[in-house]
Structure 1
């Protein structure tokens, strides 16, 4: 059994600039009780997997940084993607490598940009998936998160009838639903048949490779060539050539929405996908009586200010605000962001402008 960890949506997240940079991805920033998201992910699953059975998928330019960050993992277990090819590319690469090492192994896929508390419900659910695969070796297993409100930033899973399988708490997945609008999300919550899509999976390596071959045959050809080169002197050359030829597509779109034999169990725990400052502050922030949220080493002084999010990674730095409301203030040693809480979508355009104006060193 192997675990595969990564942020399959991209290690540099524009919505978390300037905290996250191209040379300092969010997964290795110490944001959670002195630990990074990646360290937190690996520690969470160490109760299930030995260190030599934990792999990390990252952008190639971060591979050495990750090796230093996680010294207990074997060097060869840090796989660097030449270019981002979404979750189907990352997961296919991991499965291809594992097929060369242990073709009959089971792989569990985790996201490095999630916070899950406590660890025990996830560990128990993963073990439940392992047990289920022993009697259902062709199954694709995923985990739903108990939906507590009408979230429009997440995908949803629709549960089928529990009676179709006899294992406790395991349901067939009837449908994958992409991010809904507010009205649709409310309908999902009222029905009681939906949960959030966690983006975590468990399956046999040979099974997921068969599914990739069936639904993404173009990609499967390139994975096969990559696998044939594993362990040879031409490995990196072949990886570079073949991986860049992959279709960029998510595992949900490419496989899970079309496959049969997809099952799930639901996790009832504190779970956050850290893709924005709002999500980050909801998880690790301290809220004062005026709704101001601070994190990390932040030291603030307020006068008539409320509902702000303030983050700094600099010690001994005071942020003071007077008559400031509904703002995000993020201070680092070389860049500061000041933005209305409802306008973070414009960060992408800001960074594009910085790129064209010769400010790449701050990206």
Structure 2
């Protein structure tokens, strides 16, 4: 295999495995790891005192098998295992994805769910143009949406909205026209802004921006969650405003989670540098750090480097990643992505570890949650989901 970024490559292999697109070598790798883990009960939390022992045993077992078969480059495989061992959720994840594969090919899932199901979310959104016209963005939308004043707005087949400046001389330098793109529950979308900045919008999110950035800054307004890859421009900083927070960047990669019904805003930096400010204070983040800010105007900004970057951007990479996550937080993600109504009135105190593609049907995700907890789910008409504790 060629060189890669270990965590991203591991995620890619898992996605290919679950979608049936993995190579024979990749399937064998997953099977080797799964078969070894399957010899011991790792469905729950691994005690801290046993974790290191288990990690060592996992690596030695796979190392011996691979060395004997001479199928793999051992340095490459060690990258996979070292990354996996560094994640507390790895044991659950490998078993989780293997069981998910079995479930997807089985005629029955054994999940205690009604004979109803919900398909996963998809690329869909609503674009509101400066003149108030609304354009539904989905698979049926025409490629050419607008072409005025030297600016082209087009849509690609893979769910991407692109702004292109065709003629700089025709662009109105005083243009202060704003567009807004909104994703519903069960929707996501990618947009390329006029300056080349790429934005991925998660479900139930919106982004307001200028048709063309004029003046001495580039500014957008975000509600919900989005991942940004900001085009570099040292003379014109890029600002993301959400709730009572402002993020200033010159060119970098970061994720902002600022849903209106959440009590905090989480800003996670993957590359470059950003400055976060509100009425109370300001902080500068380094790669690998996360800022957590309350929604009040006078809230403090707390910075932490104890964050798993893969968890924070899993949604953008097509995955759910549950890393010691409370059931309520798991269900909130499912509610937004599958556009269901969840009864939160009597949730058991449970936490989950694992990973599953966002392309899975709701029944498959619920079946896995049922297998790892003393609970069952009831899905009824109107896409209403109830959690029931087993006696």
State the structure with more CA Rg. Answer: 2
**Greater percentage in strand:** 2
**Greater percentage in helix:** 1
Which range, TM-score by smaller chain? under 0.3
Give the TM-score of the pair, scaled to structure 2: 0.22
Give the TM-score of the pair, scaled to structure 1: 0.23
